[in-house]
Amino acid sequence: HIQVTVVDLNEQRIIDWNDPNTDNIPIYEPGLSEIVLEARGRNLFFSTEVEKAIDEAQVIFISVNTPTKTYGKGKGMAADLKYIELCARQIAKVAKQNKIVVEKSTLPVRTAEAIKSILDNTGNGVQFQILSNPEFLAEGTAVTDLLNPDRILIGGDSTPEGEAAINALVDVYANWVNKDKILTTNVWSSELSKLTANAFLAQRISSINAMSELCEKTGADVNEVARAIGMDSRIGPKFLKASVGFGGSCFQKDILNLVYIAKSYGLNEVADYWEQVIIMNDHQKRRFSNKIVQTLYNTVADKKITFLGWAFKKDTNDTRESAAIYVADDLINEQAKISVYDPKVSRNKMMSDLDYLETRPAEENAKSLTTFGNVYDACRGSHAIAVLTEWDEFTTYDWQKIYESMHKPAFVFDGRNILNAKELQSIGFVYNGIGS
């Protein structure tokens, strides 16, 4: 019974979301195309009529991106809020009735203040209530996370109008989420909780990745260590998978943002503490590419190295900050020839990811990276395989057949620890996992 209209200035994007075949919508996410198929045209609409949608809505979610700033003060660390400000100004210009404005994008703490100031000072005298309602779903499991969230967080003012706005949003979620999972706080707690949650999650990965290097030196196995510590109910088993490093659009950006905020308050120790999570993650990616070079007799020049996976995690076609990009960049510096198979990522995307780093001319990237539509072609004639994404299908291949088609000795660098090391070794592969 709630009408949802998604608006975007980008016409092509809206055309894509309205594609009659919902398998072609721009984001691959298990279960998403089915939901769009069911709801689109009934109470879910995609449109470029931004002003009309603002005018008609009672609640407006600001869900634009907040990338890391690439210029000026806070370059490389602070969140770029220009899209947020544009949204706020447009809402202020159009709104003729009171509106609830919800921050859905991940924002630095106290952004609501800026939004409120723009709305109140440029608006038509109508009342705006600003709520913070950060999103905690993860890519690849977005639909299940949305349907069964651990919690919904809503921050708002403690004035009667603020409380009424909070209750209006609680009532929306209460349609499918149990009320005891809906948490209400003040706006600043809500904004900061989002950054804190991502910082804690990323910290767990950097912590286990730090131990993975120590495991490789000592003969311990990081998977066994993770299992052993995860059984302590205070630590818990999730997010302890050692890997080539975390990627995605959120962890790095949000931690940099947190570091920037801490520094801006002069809290240098707090800033350094969290920055170490990023330093460790960068180290882990570089360590992985170094290991490939060292193991292949200190030279990969003109050797074919096959990447299984390019996405930053399985079940998504998102590649933002994917470890694969950085590992490929390092290996291309060493003049390796990279071939890639990823079930969902297009060649264009891979090329634009590499070109974005501006390490070398685009033509050189294009010559150094070849893509394949299936794993067997991708691996034929290669010296080594590097697993960069944990796609389930990688565990189901005919590894004997792959081995026979490769240069010998044939190496596997399992950046996700998903393959069966013993089985691969018995076939003849030289297997290198993370932290073993």
Catalytic residue annotation: 135, 194, 250
CB-based burial label for 406 (10 Å; 0-12, 13-18, 19+): buried
What does each C-alpha distance from 299 to 37, 93, 289, 334, 375 come to in angstroms? Answer: 51, 60, 12, 7, 24
Pick the binder of ligand UGA from 17, 46, 61, 246 (CB under 6 A).
246
Least Å distance between CB 141 and ligand UGA?
7
391 binds ligand UGA (CB under 6 A): no
Does 312 sit near ligand UGA (CB under 6 A)? yes
Q: Which of 313, 337, 349, 383 binds ligand UGA (CB under 6 A)?
A: 313
Residue 226 has phi, psi (to 5 degrees) of -60, -40
What is the identity of the amino acid at 48?
T
Under rule CB under 6 A, residue 240 binds ligand UGA: yes
Q: What sign does the CA torsion over 117, 118, 124, 127 have? A: negative
Beta carbons of 406 and 425 less than 8 angstroms apart? no
Q: Which residue's CB is nearer to ligand UGA, number 135 or number 353?
A: 135
Minimum CB separation from ligand UGA for residue 340, in Å?
17
| 247 touching ligand UGA, by CB under 6 A | yes
- Strands 384-387 and 44-47, by their bridges, are unpaired
Count of residues in the chain: 436
Distance in angstroms (rounded) separating the CA atoms of residues 411 and 6 = 47
Is 83 near ligand UGA (CB under 6 A)?
A: no
Tokens for 79, please give them: 């969140």
Q: Residue 392 Cβ, how far from ligand UGA at the closest point, in Å? A: 13
Does 394 bind ligand UGA (CB under 6 A)? Our answer is no
Residue 432 Cβ, how far from ligand UGA at the closest point, in Å? Answer: 17
Q: Which of 339, 2, 418 is nearest to 172 (CA)?
A: 2
Mark the segment that binds ligand UGA (CB under 6 A) among 95-103, 136-144, 171-179, 364-372.
136-144
Q: Is the Cβ of residue 106 or residue 365 nearer to ligand UGA in the bound state?
A: 106
Residue 382 near ligand UGA by CB under 6 A: no
Q: Does 27 bind ligand UGA (CB under 6 A)?
A: no
Count, residues near ligand UGA per rule CB under 6 A: 20
Q: 101 or 280, CB closer to ligand UGA?
A: 280
DSSP code of 64? -
Compute how many other C-beta atoms are within 10 angstroms of the C-beta atom of residue 395. 13
Q: How far apart are CA 288 and CA 424, in angstroms?
A: 19
337-341 and 430-433 beta bridge pairing: unpaired
The least distance separating ligand UGA from the CB of residue 225, rounded to whole angstroms, comes to 13
Closest CA to 108 of 170, 206, 199: 199
Site for ligand UGA in 184-213 (CB under 6 A): 198, 201, 205
Q: Closest distance between ligand UGA and the C-beta of residue 434, in Å? A: 9
Please give the Cα distance from 191 to 103 (Å, whole number): 9
Q: Which is nearer to ligand UGA, 250 or 332 (CB)?
A: 250
Hey, what are 101's tokens? 């404005």
Binding mask 86-115 for ligand UGA (x = CB under 6 A): --------------------x---------
Query: To the nearest whole angstrom, how small is the minimum distance from the Cβ of residue 390 to ligand UGA?
Result: 7
Binding segment toward ligand UGA, per CB under 6 A, in 78-86, 130-138, 163-171, 271-279:
130-138
Ramachandran assignment for 313, one of left (phi > 0), alpha (psi -120 to 50 degrees), beta (any other):
beta
Q: Which of 156, 248, 343, 415 binds ligand UGA (CB under 6 A)?
A: 248
Amino acid in the structure at residue 87:
C
Q: How far is the CB of 299 from ligand UGA (least distance, A)?
A: 29
Q: Which two tokens stand for residue 258?
A: 């947190």
- Nearer to ligand UGA by Cβ, of 243 and 436: the residue is 243
**DSSP designation for 273:** H
Residues that bind ligand UGA (CB under 6 A): 106, 135-139, 198, 201, 205, 239-241, 243, 246-248, 250-251, 312-313
